[in-house]
């Protein structure tokens, strides 16, 4: 894989403030099927092209300093697709994990998966187990694939586990707050989500990270996922940096906070 300087437009790169990068970026990788259809190719060709597109985005994200990158790879709803397509998707997924394992080890990337892993075929589960084990100590970035994932099911599962702990007496009602709830989500060990990107022009979030995106910035692009490159990620990051994140307060309060922090630094 190339380095950031090889992948990214230098003019765009010079605009980027490395001190204001999002810690956690998630991407809904949409458009593989339409990409293939527009080229009169079978849908699986689009999925393979989509897997190739992941490479450049992961490399760019890691070298720019993104701490966590989460990719919506296969939803619970995707099990409704034709069996032949699902079977081929699972083959592509297994191939991708095995192919990228050495690069993840070399580039200090920790591999992670969220979702109902037990739904996946045994060869895919084994590839996941191996990649997790061999990258567990890596620290430069966490690459998370959402597989057989549903945000509603994630939230429901967290509520069920909390209810079970209440029933067992290991948890009291007074202890339940947002922080505790988040500890029961799949993403408990990931930074707070800052930026959600969706490709292909669709303007919806498709049951993805519904709790986590409460204050995330949303970025939609018409680019189909197989055509999404490192420069497209950079444009999304630049747009993120242009936005004012207020978290429920007004602009004046945000300005006052910045001035206060600046005064403390000067002292």
Task: Report domain extents, the chain.
Answer: 20-266
Which whole number is the average pLDDT over 119-132?
Answer: 98
| Residue 78 known to be catalytic | yes
254 compared with 231, residue with greater pLDDT: 231
Could you tell me the pTM of the whole model?
A: 0.89
What is the C-alpha to C-alpha distance for residues 252 and 28, in angstroms, rounded to an integer?
34
Phi, psi of 25 (to 5 degrees): -115, 135
Percent of the chain with pLDDT over 70: 89
Residue tagged active-site, from 6, 9, 23, 30: 30
Q: Over 90: is that where the pLDDT of 165 sits?
A: yes
Q: Give the closest residue to 212 by CA, choosing from 242, 238, 191, 240.
A: 191
Q: Over 80: is that where the pLDDT of 3 sits?
A: no
What is the C-alpha to C-alpha distance for residues 94 and 89, in angstroms, rounded to an integer?
9
CATH number of 20-266: 3.40.1180.10
* CB 114, CB 144: distance < 8 Å: yes
Which whole number is the average pLDDT over 223-236?
Answer: 96
Helix (H, G, I), strand (E, B) or coil at 138: coil
CA distance to 84, 121, 124, 135, 181, per residue, from 87 (Å): 5, 9, 11, 27, 35
| Residue 30 known to be catalytic | yes
Residue tagged active-site, from 55, 78, 119, 227: 78
């Amino acid at each position: 894989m190339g380095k950031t300087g090889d992948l990214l437009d230098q003019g765009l790169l010079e605009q980027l403030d490395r001190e204001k990068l999002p810690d956690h970026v998630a991407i809904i990788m949409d458009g593989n099927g339409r990409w293939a259809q527009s080229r009169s190719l079978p849908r699986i060709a689009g999925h393979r092209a989509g897997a190739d597109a992941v490479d450049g985005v992961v490399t760019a994200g890691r070298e720019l300093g993104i701490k966590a990158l989460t990719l919506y790879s296969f939803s619970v709803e995707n099990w409704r697709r034709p069996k032949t397509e699902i079977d081929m998707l699972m083959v592509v997924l297994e191939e991708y994990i095995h192919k990228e394992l050495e690069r993840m080890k070399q580039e200090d990337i920790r591999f992670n998966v969220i979702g109902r892993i037990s739904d996946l075929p045994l060869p895919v589960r084994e590839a996941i187990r191996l990649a997790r084990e061999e990258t567990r100590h890596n620290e430069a970035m966490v690459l998370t694939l959402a597989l057989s994932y549903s945000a509603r099911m994630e939230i429901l599962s967290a509520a069920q586990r909390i209810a079970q702990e209440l029933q067992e007496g290991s948890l009291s009602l007074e202890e339940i707050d947002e922080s505790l709830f988040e500890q029961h989500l799949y993403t408990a060990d990931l930074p707070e989500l800052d930026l959600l990107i969706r490709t292909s022009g669709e303007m919806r979030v498709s049951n993805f990270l519904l709790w986590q995106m409460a204050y995330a910035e949303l970025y939609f692009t018409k680019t189909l996922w197989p055509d999404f490159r490192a420069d497209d990620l950079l444009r999304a990051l630049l747009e993120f940096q242009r936005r004012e994140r207020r978290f429920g307060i007004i602009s004046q309060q945000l300005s006052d906070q910045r001035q206060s922090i600046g005064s403390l630094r000067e002292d």
